[in-house]
Amino acid sequence: MDILLAIAIMALGAVVLGAALGFASIKFKVEGDPLVEKIEAILPQTQCGQCGFPGCKPYAEAIAKGDVDINLCPPGGMEGVAKLADLLGREVKPLDAEEKPKQIAIIDENTCIGCTLCIQACPVDAIVGAAKQMHTIITPLCTGCELCLPPCPVECIRMEAITENIDNWKWKYPVVEIKAAPLQKAA
Amino acid sequence: MLMNLFKFKGGVKPPTNKTQSLGLSIAQAPLPSKLVVPLHQSIGGTPRPVVQAGDKVLKGQLIGEADGWISAAVHAPTSGTVLEVAMHVQPHPSGLDAMCVVIEPDGKDEWIARQPVDYQALTPEQVREGLQQAGVVGLGGAVFPTHGKLTASKTVPMDELVINGAECEPFITCDDLLMRERAEEVVRGIGVFRDLLQPKKVLIGIEDNKPEAAAAMRAAVDALGEPFLVVQVPTLYPAGGAKQLIRVLTGKEVPASKRSTDLGVQCFNVATAYTAWRAIAHGEPVVSRLVTVTGNVGEPRNYEVLIGTPMGELLQLAQPQPDTDGIVMGGPMMGFLVPDAKVPVVKATNCLIAHSERLFPPKAPEMPCIRCGACAQACPHELQPFEMYWFSRAKNFGKTQEYHIFDCIECGCCSFVCPSRIPLVQYFRFAKSEIWARERDKNAAEGAKARFEFKQLRDEREKAEKAEKLAKAAAAQAAKKAAEAAAAAAAEASPTAPDSAAAATQVQASAATVEATATPAVDAEKEAKKAAIAAAMARAKAQREAVQPKNTEQLSAVQQREQAEIEARRQAAHLTDPAQAEPAAPASEKTD
Amino acid sequence: MSHYLFILVGAVLVNNVVLVKILGLCPFMGVSKKLETAYGMGAATTFVLTMATGASYIIDHYLLMPFGLEYLRTLSFIVTIAAIVQLTEMVIAKTSPTLQQTLGIYLPLITTNCAVLGVPLLNIANGYNFVESLLFGAGSAVGFSLVLILFAGIRERIEGADVPVYFRGVAIAMITAGLMALAFMGFAGLDKYQ
């Protein structure tokens, strides 16, 4: 008898709580995922597809779902991984690929035949030109995604690392110079 | 001169070391062997070079054209030949190169045709543009293009115009000498600023350790009958910081996030006023400036120096001591060791100090922060440098911003008083430039994202437009063909006529259903898809229509009738297959 | 009335659930790396703990005791707590997805937070009535949040400090927690004036 009562009471509790939770899950239904936007803000927006997704947003969506690792974005570098880990409370993992210095594409304008293939490939509209006319890259807009390299039939596009100049120079972290104390000569 | 002065918190009193260079009057520095004129000498856009190697230039000739509104032109400091336009090392803490115009003087120092203007006859816009063309920038050290500061806020009335003659940094005396010797032109220049900004009051702030300068300025103000107030402010570093002087004279605090005009106040350096007047009344662009040469030298003095003069050559004039081991540009508080004696004097160079270990003994090594709070007491901006230091050091930049790191003016008071000798300002500069770099990256990423999304949208739209165009053409064709078929059928008056008419109506009907389903779709994407579907369907019809009645004219009546019959049967049996439209559009696959 | 005040003060400071009773250490170490998450966790736990004490009191007194089913306490309390946690998670997911992400696994783990189960059981052991139970629950929750936030603040600063390499991370956090517990011993006796 006792055991039946116990079972009945527990069952009652389960039913009541289950109903409450079911109601809540309808009432507090989450639509869309604002997290995607936060993740996307961290991604470098090169739209390079090196993560295996067609652009930064799909990758952000996949991360938000929890389908993929956070270390697939080489342009974002370790810093990006660290930021994502921080946002999502996940472990920092080493980058899945080699970290490259920031680059931009340069078109050798003498070799360019004006085929417009690179213009179509550029995800961020950083290449200007017209058919049979020389193309050129708008340097400040180039994200260095390298997507314009494969379609070029004459291989006139190369990547160049961005060098330090007066405009992008940064103050260095103050380093204390350690000088070796002069040796005291034994008398 | 009774006036209620305000105070700023903090500040330090380093030994002023000004008397050394005050003994002699301003001297004209001789022409150097060559002039290296950097194109980027002001905040804002880098001027574009307008000369080439081999060009002959005259003194005051434009060599760099201002790029954008916040940018100022650059001029040849003397007559001569352009040797090259190339990268040269800059008077910048980075020691990196930037584009310079190198000029070999011909020794004649021949001016271009100078055209003095009567600024009162010009509109304010013209005056501002004239100042930009003359390369007038803030000579107090920030080198912000002056014309950009000469527009009053539209909403806030201009209360005060503050003229900065405080010159609080130790060793520097160039503004002092300028006010003593050329007070009249300074006051006339202030008059120009006053006329452009229309402030209620003009206050000239001069530290009280420069009584001669104050007296000279007062005399000039009286002589010209201007209602300017010459105010002596207490000598306290950094009273000469624009924000500090504004605070002392007006009691207003300018936060980092606001422009001073938003608070109805604007501040200019005395030397800026002087060059502005030279530019307007004499047509002389900024090709030279006063530079204090002092420190470890035999004869400290102020020189009128052509922009582009190599610092090493200038220093030689003051007979540096043999143990001189470097040149500091600026004062000992905010200045920096220049990377090379070859770097040129620029518009921002107010002082050169010959550096020696005797004069500036090397700092003892940095010790841990003991949180004594001395830096917070010394900070003229009431910041908490020890907190900003803690988080800059840990590279926790978000926290540094919470402690208002961008309100820091890098005056160096905190480093000056720190008993642990921590180079606090270096940490703040590091943190600031990191934050800026991040900001740049973020903006670039946002721009890239926007362009990427726009490109996607455009591709989508182009696809939709193409589909629509095809659909229209196809529909037109279909209608035509249907009409033709109907006409042909009617002409023959054959019993199948109603059938082909039915076919025609069916085309319309299907178009109508597509239309109907399309209407509730709100977003563009669905619309586009629908359009594509409609186009595909219409194309399918059109193609079918286009295929069969090709040479109906040549057919016999019997054949025609037969064909019409077959066609009608096909219609009835719904044998028409969307796959017929296969090459037209893959979108047709979505119809089912 | 002062009786209630003593229960509250005792729960917040003197018998602090984390530092004195050593309950709920898992989230205390786990989500104290950043101040923001500590605030979130504190608020979530406060809500859950207060609700759980109330609910468990009702269940105990009106469901279990009349039928002599006291042996089902732990079981039924856990179920109740789990339900409340689920509810809280849904609310947080709706209102602040970032907080949900940053709290991560620690949010559902409030279910197994021993403080949340321990406090209702202590209530029964102490023989508190409904109001006393609620006060004790709320006090314990506030105490938990207090030390969690204090600890997160300290840890944020430690991030920038020159901690010897072998002490970095959890090791120095443990030492800090120990020092905090020592400091909280100073409150002993504060609730004994009666």
Nearest to B403 by CA among B426, B384, B381: B384
Pairing of strands B265-269, B160-165: parallel
In contact, A30 and C97? CB cutoff 8 Å: yes
Measured CA to CA, the distance from residue B197 to residue B150 in angstroms comes to 6
A87–C98 CB contact, under 8 Å: yes
Tell me which chain A residues have a C-beta less than 8 angstroms from the C-beta of B423.
174
Neighbours of chain C (3+ CB pairs under 8 A): A, B
Measured CA to CA, the distance from residue C124 to residue B190 in angstroms comes to 83
Measured CA to CA, the distance from residue B165 to residue B197 in angstroms comes to 19
The residue of chain A with its CA nearest to that of B425 is A174
Average pLDDT rounded to a whole number, residues A92-117: 84
Q: Residue B579's pLDDT is what?
A: 43
Closest Cβ–Cβ partner in A21, A29, A35 for C97: A35
Tell me which chain B residues have a C-beta less than 8 angstroms from the C-beta of C157.
390
Residue C191 falls within a domain, yes or no? Answer: no
B96–A164 CB contact, under 8 Å: yes
Who's near B84: CB < 8 A, 6+ residues apart?
B53, B101, B102
The residue of chain C with its CA nearest to that of A65 is C101
Measured CA to CA, the distance from residue B519 to residue B534 in angstroms comes to 13
In sequence order, the β-bridge partners of residue B162 are B203, B267
Q: B559 vs chain A: nearest CA distance in angstroms?
A: 51
List pLDDT tens digits, range A116-126.
Answer: 888 888 888 88
Q: What is the CA radius of gyration of chain A?
A: 28
Tell me which chain B residues have a C-beta less than 8 angstroms from the C-beta of C161.
394
Q: B371 vs chain C: nearest CA distance in angstroms?
A: 13
Residue C177 falls within a domain, yes or no? Answer: no
In sequence order, the β-bridge partners of residue B365 are none
Tell me which chain B residues have a C-beta less than 8 angstroms from the C-beta of A174.
366, 423, 426-427, 430
Residue C151 falls within a domain, yes or no? Answer: yes
B396–C162 CB contact, under 8 Å: no
Tell me which chain C residues have a C-beta less than 8 angstroms from the C-beta of A20.
83, 87
Q: Which of residues 100-129 of A touch C (CB under 8 A)?
A: none
A172–B430 CB contact, under 8 Å: yes
**Cα–Cα–Cα angle for C99, C100, C102, nearest 5°?**
60
Tell me which chain C residues have a C-beta less than 8 angstroms from the C-beta of A34.
97-98
Measured CA to CA, the distance from residue B325 to residue B295 in angstroms comes to 11
**Residue extents of the structural domains in chain A:** 34-88, 103-161
Residue C171 falls within a domain, yes or no? Answer: no
Q: Distance between the two ends of chain A, CA-based, in angstroms? A: 99
Name residue, tokens 């260079």: B21
List pLDDT tens digits, range C129-180.
Answer: 999 999 999 999 999 999 999 999 999 888 888 889 999 888 999 999 999 9
A10–C79 CB contact, under 8 Å: yes
CA distances to A58, A184, B357, B366, B367 from A180, rounded to whole Å, are 54, 12, 19, 15, 17
Asked if residue B238 has a cis previous peptide bond (ω within 30° of 0), the answer is: yes
Closest Cβ–Cβ partner in C87, C98, C103 for A21: C87
For residue B154, give both structure tokens: 């539209």
Residue C107 falls within a domain, yes or no? Answer: yes
Specify the amino acid at residue A84.
L
In contact, B306 and B35? CB cutoff 8 Å: yes
Measured CA to CA, the distance from residue A103 to residue A108 in angstroms comes to 16
Q: Residue A180's pLDDT is what?
A: 60
Name residue, tokens 């000739």: B61
C72–A35 CB contact, under 8 Å: no
Q: B267 vs chain A: nearest CA distance in angstroms?
A: 26
For B90-113, b/e burial (b = at least 16 CB within 10 A) is bbbbbbbebbbbbbebeeeeebbe
For domain A103-161, the CATH architecture is: 2-Layer Sandwich (3.30)
- Residue C36's CB is within 10 A of a number of other CB atoms, namely 14
In sequence order, the β-bridge partners of residue B313 are none
Tell me which chain C residues have a C-beta less than 8 angstroms from the C-beta of A5.
67, 69
* Alpha carbon of residue B313 to chain centroid: 33
Closest Cβ–Cβ partner in B366, B395, B436 for A176: B366
Task: Please report, in tens digits, the pLDDT of each residue of chain B (592 residues total).
Answer: 457 788 888 889 999 889 989 989 999 999 999 999 999 988 888 899 999 999 999 999 999 998 888 889 999 999 999 999 999 999 998 888 999 999 999 988 889 988 888 888 888 899 999 999 999 999 988 889 999 888 878 888 889 999 999 999 999 999 999 999 999 999 999 999 999 999 999 999 999 999 999 999 999 999 999 999 999 999 998 888 899 999 999 988 888 888 888 888 999 999 999 999 999 999 999 999 999 999 999 999 999 999 999 999 999 999 999 989 899 999 899 999 999 899 999 999 999 999 998 888 888 888 889 999 999 999 998 999 999 999 998 888 988 998 999 999 999 999 999 999 999 999 999 999 999 998 988 888 888 888 888 988 988 999 999 999 999 999 888 888 888 888 777 776 655 445 544 555 555 555 444 444 444 445 666 666 667 777 777 766 666 655 544 455 556 677 777 777 777 776 766 554 444 444 444 443 443 3
B35 Ramachandran zone, left/alpha/beta (phi>0; psi -120 to 50): beta
Helix/strand/coil (H/E/C) assignment for every residue in B123-191: CHHHHHHHHHHCCCECCCCCCCEHHHHCCCCCCCCCCEEEEEECCCCCCCCHHHHHHHHCHHHHHHHHH
The residue of chain C with its CA nearest to that of B369 is C161
C122 or B566: which leads in pLDDT:
C122
Q: B105 vs chain A: nearest CA distance in angstroms?
A: 27
Measured CA to CA, the distance from residue B369 to residue B386 in angstroms comes to 8
Residue C48 falls within a domain, yes or no? Answer: yes
B390–C162 CB contact, under 8 Å: no
Any B CB within 8 A of C164 CB? no
How many Cβ pairs within 8 Å bridge chains A and B? 74
Residue C180 falls within a domain, yes or no? Answer: no
In contact, C38 and C149? CB cutoff 8 Å: yes
The phi and psi torsions of B204 (rounded to 5 degrees) equal: -105, 115
Nearest to B443 by CA among A143, C111, A154, C60: A143
C104–A38 CB contact, under 8 Å: no
Q: Which of residues 69-128 of C touch B (CB under 8 A)?
A: none
In contact, B213 and B179? CB cutoff 8 Å: yes
C157–B390 CB contact, under 8 Å: yes
DSSP state, B102? E
List pLDDT tens digits, range A22-59.
Answer: 888 888 776 666 678 888 888 888 888 888 888 888 88
For residue B40, give both structure tokens: 């980027």
DSSP state, C60? I
Tell me which chain B residues have a C-beta less than 8 angstroms from the C-beta of C159.
394, 396
A35–C98 CB contact, under 8 Å: yes
C157–B396 CB contact, under 8 Å: no
Helix/strand/coil (H/E/C) assignment for every residue in B501-513: HHHHHHHHHHHHH
Percent above pLDDT 70 for chain C: 98
Helix/strand/coil (H/E/C) assignment for every residue in B334-385: CCEECCCCCCECCCCCCEEEEECCCCCCCCCCCCCCCCCCHHHHHCCCCCCH
C63–A10 CB contact, under 8 Å: no
* Alpha carbon of residue B80 to chain centroid: 32
- Mutant choice from A3, A15, A29, A30 vs C, greatest count of C C-beta within 10 A: A30
C20 or C106: which leads in pLDDT:
C20
Please report the ipTM that was assigned to this predicted complex.
0.78
- Mutant choice from B366, B367, B384, B396 vs C, greatest count of C C-beta within 10 A: B396
Tell me which chain A residues have a C-beta less than 8 angstroms from the C-beta of B366.
174, 176
Pairing of strands B160-165, B74-75: unpaired
- Mutant choice from C36, C157, C163 vs B, greatest count of B C-beta within 10 A: C157
What is the CATH number that goes with domain A34-88?
Answer: 1.10.15.40
Tell me which chain C residues have a C-beta less than 8 angstroms from the C-beta of B368.
162
The CA-based dihedral angle spanning residues B171, B177, B179, B184, taken in that order and rounded to the nearest 10 degrees: -160
Measured CA to CA, the distance from residue B507 to residue B539 in angstroms comes to 11
Measured CA to CA, the distance from residue A45 to residue B449 in angstroms comes to 6
Collapse the DSSP code of C159 into the 3-class scheme (helix H, G, I; strand E, B; otherwise coil) and give the result: coil
Q: Residue B220's pLDDT is what?
A: 94
Measured CA to CA, the distance from residue A80 to residue A73 in angstroms comes to 8
In contact, C8 and C139? CB cutoff 8 Å: yes
Q: A5 vs chain B: nearest CA distance in angstroms?
A: 57
- Mutant choice from C51, C91, C94, C101 vs A, greatest count of A C-beta within 10 A: C101
CA distances to A43, B200, C73, C130 from C83, rounded to whole Å, are 37, 69, 15, 21
Neighbours of chain A (3+ CB pairs under 8 A): B, C
Measured CA to CA, the distance from residue B86 to residue A77 in angstroms comes to 34
Measured CA to CA, the distance from residue A109 to residue A161 in angstroms comes to 18
Residue C29 falls within a domain, yes or no? Answer: yes
Domain assignment of residue C101, given as a range: 24-159
Chain A: residues touching B (Cβ < 8 Å): 40-41, 43-47, 55-56, 123-126, 140-141, 143, 164-166, 168-174, 176
Collapse the DSSP code of B251 into the 3-class scheme (helix H, G, I; strand E, B; otherwise coil) and give the result: coil
Count up the domains in chain C and report the number.
1
B394–C160 CB contact, under 8 Å: yes
List the domains of chain B with CATH numbers.
21-49+67-108+125-355 (3.40.50.11540), 480-591 (no CATH)
Neighbours of chain B (3+ CB pairs under 8 A): A, C
Q: What is the Cβ-side half-sphere exposure of residue B400, based on CA atoms within 13 angstroms?
A: 29
Full strand arrangement of the beta sheet holding B229-233? B229-233, B201-207, B160-165, B265-269
How many Cβ pairs within 8 Å bridge chains A and C? 65
**Cα–Cα–Cα angle for B21, B23, B27, nearest 5°?**
75
Q: Residue B582's pLDDT is what?
A: 40
Q: State the sign of the Cα–Cα–Cα–Cα dihedral C106, C111, C114, C116.
A: positive
The phi and psi torsions of B504 (rounded to 5 degrees) equal: -65, -45
For residue A17, give both structure tokens: 């709580």
A98 or B551: which leads in pLDDT:
A98
- Residue B434's CB is within 10 A of a number of other CB atoms, namely 17
